[in-house]
Structure 1
């Protein structure tokens, strides 16, 4: 696959390194020669110095023959103009990074103009990930599917869990109460798609998947000593903080934002009247004591400096805050110092790169329009694939119990597009109809169409 990346900033550079490791043919365009040379020196990719809005630059890059054009500079205007020209010149697929509300709110118009495969907002993606981490404080990982109608959550089976020592087949009634399935089990690194005879053990990592409401109820039942987070302190009032504050307020959280920059503090205060906004230095212990930091259930450190976020996190630990999340772009800094558990941090550029990589993998693996999205979990041992049920499929309108589904595969959820998008957790009685979207979990890496799920 030939990929052109416009923009060699933090996200563009991380994405380039990520995709180069995957073996793709990559060309990077950036106006800053010094930044571009640094990226080229450490990666086996090509580069052109120039303005992505200049048709001559895009012609030099042979954009008309590329499989994917990714516009990911810091400027929405540059990304939009460059993508429009790239499409006119023949780029097959386009991904655009847009952040400004005036564009995001007109997503359909932008997609129509550019024929974009995907419009991404890294800050919004990061905010959603943080919001999930706060809601499910004991979950190791949470992924959303079908526009978050379905949720997959990774948990560890505790000693007192009903699941410990039970066979999957004996838990059918228990699982049915929550409309969930156990889709993946990781026992000390050995990953399996469990079936009825599988006996669950204490300490195993499991992935529960189902309708959002059912997974919520399962989580509350399974994690008895969970932290109920309602009161959140956010240090830093940048773009991620803005999205996160909105998400949290919409879900009934109490939010306090602290930022040393008066203008940023005023902007977020004007936007969210229900949030408490304080113009002060969130890294100052005296300020933290004044805001009664020990009274918060969670702290999210989102300043523009890694070192500052680490320092504030350490102060939060000292005050006994149960849940601390820190934005850290230079993850090597954490690994070298060993200051914080890496699981308490997140990297926006990596979040955006993961989303784009997922889109690329789904397109590369697809035949026709069958695969619409592809996720990889557990060090790429498991694939979670969204299929579209297309014409001439052999599995249409048949009960799942009558199909000879592969042992390494589980049909988890079905979204019935013809029934107003109703989402169903799959059972033996379920049937797949033309146009449905189907979520499949498998350890097989060769699936190309939905018919590959049967032997």
Structure 2
């Protein structure tokens, strides 16, 4: 597939890396030589120096021949104009990063489709929704809703006192036969394991468990963790993601959140205080330990650090953990920091580049793909695939299928009912199947559903 990415910043680079690894024909357009040099030195892509709003430069990047044009510069207006021009030049699908809420408002006088934009993505908003989901599962490092929210995938970090240490997965399942679940992936000291029943669990393994949503609380207890109610939240950083998270929590009428938000810019803090009456907005440096202690960080159930300084996010979360805050979440952009952050004790990390990649991947793969989600900290992806009538996957039970190495079928949804997959499970036409696999197995397993 021919893909043109406009913008070689953090998100553009990450997308180019992922898509070129999957053997797509990727071109990256940017006006900054330094950003393009980084792309050309480390990735198998075609770098083009040029202006995203110049028809001449877009033609030079062969935008008119693109199957997908992805415009992810840091400026909404540039993304809109380049997307509009790209569609006029002949790009088959246009995906644009637009952070302004005005265009997603149902009463907006102009919509993305009016500009030729097929898909509008908002990585910061996606990441804020992920954090809100994590706050509802105090013990989990990852929470992914699947099969129309009927199933969940949760990530759990096993502590040294977990009753699962030293047990293999067959023993784990046998001891809790009243529950139906499946351990579909394990992160262990930087390695990603798609496990079988004989593998033994070890200290500090990051295990990913798939189960029906109603069973998740009981399954968390089997790992030695306890689900506790989180009510008081402190958010460090009020611009973009922090403010979005506060709005999402305020709109959640299922519980009464108590929220403190710290914003360093006085005008912005005043604006947020006027807008969100339910939130205590504080003006100050959100990475200042003295301020955090003075404002009662030790009395919080959860501490969320989403400033632009990721090192400060990690350090302030570690301090919160030291003060026995139950749940800490840090915004981190460097991929190398993600496994490190969880190793040193943070409960969860959020990466807006991953959020953008997850949104875009569904449109890149299209066809039978319902959703694609990259798991943070390990090299595995969760894919929801729809079985085409007569496809290979529908011909025989799972145990007789020749699934590629590094791939496991976790569950499926058929006519509204969900179930965890076992060897005898037979996938039927139009079933939605949840699969966990390493990146190099994705194309092979997708073909079984076509």
User: Who is 1:191 aligned against?
Assistant: 193
Structure 2 residue aligned with 1:290, among 283, 287, 294? 294
Moved over 6 A (4+): 331-336, 378-381
User: Who is 2:368 aligned against?
Assistant: 370
Alignment of 1:205-354 (within 5 A): 205-225=206-226, 228-249=229-250, 250=252, 252=255, 253-306=257-310, 308-309=312-313, 312-313=316-317, 315-316=319-320, 319-329=323-333, 341=344, 346=349, 348-352=351-355, 354=357
* CA contact 2:139–2:226 (8 Å) conserved in 1: no
Matching of residue 168 in structure 1 with residue 170 in structure 2: yes
C-alpha deviations, 1:327-346, integer Å up to 9, x for none?
3446789999x9x9485674
* CA contact 1:67–1:91 (8 Å) conserved in 2: yes
Quick one: distance in 1 between partners of 2:163 and 2:417? 31
Structure 2 residue aligned with 1:437, among 432, 445, 448? 432
**Structure 1 residues 39 and 185: alpha-carbon distance in aligned structure 2, compared to 1, 3 A threshold:** closer
Structure 2 residue aligned with 1:389, among 384, 387, 390? 387
Query: TM-score if structure 1 supplies the norm length?
Result: 0.77
In the TM superposition, residue 69 of structure 1 has moved relative to its aligned partner by: 0.8
**Structure 1 residues 316 and 154: alpha-carbon distance in aligned structure 2, compared to 1, 3 A threshold:** closer
Alignment of 1:131-170 (within 5 A): 131-146=132-147, 148-156=149-157, 159=161, 161=163, 165=167, 168=170
SS at match of 1:43: helix
**Structure 1 residues 176 and 438: alpha-carbon distance in aligned structure 2, compared to 1, 3 A threshold:** farther
Quick one: distance in 1 between partners of 2:379 and 2:282? 46
Q: CA RMSD in A?
A: 4.3
SS at match of 1:392: coil
C-alpha deviations, 1:282-313, integer Å up to 9, x for none?
34445334322221122222233446545644
* CA contact 1:180–1:208 (8 Å) conserved in 2: yes
User: Who is 1:128 aligned against?
Assistant: 129
SS at match of 2:329: strand
Q: Which moved more, 1:276-285 or 1:155-164?
A: 155-164
Matching of residue 103 in structure 1 with residue 98 in structure 2: no
* CA contact 1:143–1:151 (8 Å) conserved in 2: yes
SS at match of 1:165: coil
Alignment of 1:405-416 (within 5 A): 406=403, 410-416=408-414
**Structure 1 residues 294 and 209: alpha-carbon distance in aligned structure 2, compared to 1, 3 A threshold:** same
Quick one: distance in 1 between partners of 2:224 and 2:16? 39
SS at match of 1:434: coil
**Structure 1 residues 267 and 173: alpha-carbon distance in aligned structure 2, compared to 1, 3 A threshold:** farther
**Structure 1 residues 427 and 232: alpha-carbon distance in aligned structure 2, compared to 1, 3 A threshold:** same
In the TM superposition, residue 349 of structure 1 has moved relative to its aligned partner by: 4.8
In the TM superposition, residue 236 of structure 1 has moved relative to its aligned partner by: 1.5
* CA contact 1:258–1:281 (8 Å) conserved in 2: yes
Quick one: distance in 1 between partners of 2:202 and 2:419? 29
User: Who is 1:49 aligned against?
Assistant: 50
C-alpha deviations, 1:83-104, integer Å up to 9, x for none?
2332232213332212222223
Q: Which moved more, 1:232-241 or 1:208-217?
A: 208-217
SS at match of 1:42: helix
Quick one: distance in 2 between partners of 1:303 and 1:333? 15
* CA contact 2:162–2:224 (8 Å) conserved in 1: no
In the TM superposition, residue 225 of structure 1 has moved relative to its aligned partner by: 4.6
Equivalences, count: 435
**Structure 1 residues 88 and 389: alpha-carbon distance in aligned structure 2, compared to 1, 3 A threshold:** farther
In the TM superposition, residue 171 of structure 1 has moved relative to its aligned partner by: 3.0
Quick one: distance in 1 between partners of 2:66 and 2:298? 53
Gaps in structure 1 of 5+ consecutive residues: none
* CA contact 1:18–1:353 (8 Å) conserved in 2: no
In the TM superposition, residue 23 of structure 1 has moved relative to its aligned partner by: 6.2
In the TM superposition, residue 214 of structure 1 has moved relative to its aligned partner by: 2.1
Quick one: distance in 2 between partners of 1:412 and 1:424? 9
Matching of residue 39 in structure 1 with residue 35 in structure 2: yes
Quick one: distance in 1 between partners of 2:165 and 2:186? 12
